[in-house]
Amino acid sequence: MHRGGFMNRCASYRETSERFRGGDALLFIGGALVLGVFSAVLFLLNLGASSISGASDEVIYVRMVQGILHDDHIFPLYHGNTLAFEKPPLKLWLSAVFPWLLGESNLSFRLMDGLLGLTAVLLTVLLAYKLFASGIGALCAGFLVLAAPEWLLFHHSFRRAVLDSLLTVLSLGIALAAWSLISRLSRREPLNAPLWMLSLLGSLAVLTKSVGGLVPVACAVCALCTVESARRRYRELWPLVLPALILALYVGLLALIGGYSAVRVFVGVEILDRVMNGFDGHNIGDPWFYLRYVFHRGGLAPVYILVLGLGSSLIAARSNPQFRFLLPWVVLPIVLYSVSSSRVPWYLSPFASYASIIAIFGARWAVEQAWSNLVQMCLGVVVVILAIPAYSRALDRALVHISRSTTRLDIDVVVEQLKRSHERFVVCGNALSGRSQPIRGRFNVEGIYREMLKPHLTVVKKHEELSQGGRYVVFAREGDVQCLPPDGVILRRLQPNGTRSHVVAVIEYNRVVQ
């Protein structure tokens, strides 16, 4: 692309920005406030009402965070009593902040993710405005991204304590830095600030989700390759290799700390095995999974408006640098993750923002091609009317899911109640197992709530081992004579579940030491 063409196009958007005054500015500010409040409701309402999910990786990450809080397992991380080399530590370090400040609860473990969701929506608006200088269009992209099921519905959404939330925010930061870098390249300005910011954010993404963190960096590189001035000045872009170098250094650190077994887990199992063989339940035999997911099930954005936006952007990309910049952020992840043998919807979560921006502004571009204002207005009305049902269905599904996200485990309810009314707790034997490995395909959720009883928790093999008197709550296997105190009052019985085959008696008693 010629420098003059790029500059003229950017100048036209700057002129549009100059006209963004008065009533338009007030409308934008009001819309931004509404979007912020609405997003906060979607990401934070009932956030801690449901128990930690044993059906997703959330249970693993929360156990790792508890290792940071209780045992100072800053690095390497532990999953229960087991060394965990599978994931980099950055997101888990951040996730420990709110439990450390507010105490352990379902809400505190997820609060970082909910706030990252709100941040991602605001960054989506900022990126859209930076690209197209349209406040109303940017707000529409912000509202549209809330319809992405990856952000609110799945086990790896912003309402769960997982890694994808931070990766999404870092991906948006990388995109903003990449666009600033392209603008400076075209104006022949110094590149240091956006270039190093992009490299830094890419490095943080790698420390969040290893190779998954390299995908947004690869998208940025592809976007840069569409700009002729970037191809001419490629030698100045050498800091872009920093994220890959950080990943290599991290592997070396694992080898130094954990030896061959650590590298085998991190590189062999988590990366190579995921790509080559896939994991159970990850749509291993379906190479077209993502295309069906995006264009049939409505993943990333409502199907109709996404198809219209993508089709228009493909046509407009020849003369429009903004669309040429955005396309790699949607197309490349689908291609890369389709090649991998492990395919799950939330791998695309960090890229829903770009699909929403393309959908909105691609549709606007298509409408603007009409030959008169009247036809443009009519086409615009038709687009909106056709898009509203799919969008409203997506939001309704999200709101219903959020309002019903109140499923609680018995152990969760009991621990929450007892922490408010008691101070001292005893677990007899393995009544509440603390084992951290999968049991028949399920992870031990009760170990999480057992850790939440700390620091006032004692573990014994029989109740006679207690050396102090006072008021206690005991968790013991029902029928275990050694652990059941003779003078206790049974408060509740916890029935067997997927990780425990026995009944647990929750007993209150006062022990008098002679």
User: What is the structure's pLDDT at 253?
Assistant: 93
| 3-state SS class at 140 | helix
Mean pLDDT of the region 376-398: 78
CA distance linking residue 458 with residue 462, whole number of Å: 11
Q: At residue 233, does pLDDT exceed 80? A: no
Question: Is the model more confident about 270 or about 24?
Answer: 270
- The pLDDT tens digits of the residues spanning 289-299 come to 888 888 877 77
CA distance linking residue 82 with residue 452, whole number of Å: 18
Mean pLDDT of the region 150-156: 83
Give the contacts of 432 (CB within 8 A, at least 6 positions apart).
411, 446, 447, 449, 450, 475, 500, 504
User: What is the structure's pLDDT at 441?
Assistant: 57
Q: At residue 167, does pLDDT exceed 90? A: yes
Closest residue by Cα to residue 182 from 353, 322, 11, 333? 322
User: What is the structure's pLDDT at 16?
Assistant: 47
Q: How far is CA 164 from CA 351, 391, 425, in A?
A: 11, 23, 35
User: What is the structure's pLDDT at 21?
Assistant: 45
461: tokens are 């093999």
Q: At residue 13, does pLDDT exceed 70? A: no
Q: At residue 11, does pLDDT exceed 50? A: no
Residue 250: pLDDT band by 50, 70, 90 thresholds?
very high
Strands (E), 105-148: none
User: What is the structure's pLDDT at 435?
Assistant: 58
pLDDT exceeding 70 applies to what percent of the chain? Answer: 91
Mean pLDDT of the region 344-365: 90
In terms of DSSP bridges, do strands 504-511 and 470-477 run parallel, antiparallel, or are they unpaired? antiparallel
Q: What is the overall mean pLDDT for the chain?
A: 84
Closest residue by Cα to residue 106 from 409, 399, 349? 409
How wide is the angle at C-alpha 92 spanned by C-alphas 88 and 94, nearest 5°?
Answer: 120
Averaging pLDDT over each range in 92-96, 294-298, 364-368, 402-406, which range is the top one? Answer: 92-96
Q: How far is CA 326 from CA 316, 353, 366, in A?
A: 12, 10, 16
| 3-state SS class at 496 | coil
DSSP 28-94: HHHHHHHHHHHHHHHHHTTTTTSPPPTTSTHHHHHHHHHHHHHH---SSEEETTEEE-SS-SHHHHH
Give the contacts of 438 (CB within 8 A, at least 6 positions apart).
none
How many CB atoms are located within 10 Å of the residue 162 CB? 27
- The pLDDT tens digits of the residues spanning 461-488 come to 877 776 666 788 888 888 777 777 777 7
Residues 169 and 118: beta-carbon distance below 8 Å: no
User: What is the structure's pLDDT at 65?
Assistant: 94
Helix axes 321-339, 164-186, angle to 10 degrees: 140
**149 preceded by cis ω (within 30°)?**
no
Helix, strand, coil share of the chain (percent; to 5)? 65, 10, 30
CA distance linking residue 485 with residue 478, whole number of Å: 11
Question: Is the model more confident about 378 or about 239?
Answer: 239
Give the contacts of 214 (CB within 8 A, at least 6 positions apart).
202, 205, 206, 243, 244, 247
How wide is the angle at C-alpha 51 spanned by C-alphas 503 and 442, nearest 5°?
Answer: 60
Q: At residue 363, does pLDDT exceed 60? A: yes
User: What is the structure's pLDDT at 73?
Assistant: 87
CA distance linking residue 98 with residue 178, whole number of Å: 31
Q: At residue 407, does pLDDT exceed 80? A: yes
H or E stretch including 21? Answer: none
User: What is the structure's pLDDT at 2?
Assistant: 44
Mean pLDDT of the region 406-412: 88
CA distance linking residue 401 with residue 427, whole number of Å: 35
Mean pLDDT of the region 3-9: 50
DSSP 268: I
Q: At residue 262, does pLDDT exceed 50? A: yes
250: tokens are 């991290």
Q: At residue 438, does pLDDT exceed 70? A: no
Residues 106 and 161: beta-carbon distance below 8 Å: no
What is the radius of gyration, based on Cα positions, of the chain? 26
Residues 456 and 424: beta-carbon distance below 8 Å: yes
| 3-state SS class at 511 | strand
Residues 290 and 277: beta-carbon distance below 8 Å: no
Q: At residue 94, does pLDDT exceed 90? A: yes
User: What is the structure's pLDDT at 18?
Assistant: 46
User: What is the structure's pLDDT at 468?
Assistant: 63
User: What is the structure's pLDDT at 219?
Assistant: 94
Residues 209 and 164: beta-carbon distance below 8 Å: yes
- The pLDDT tens digits of the residues spanning 79-89 come to 877 888 889 99
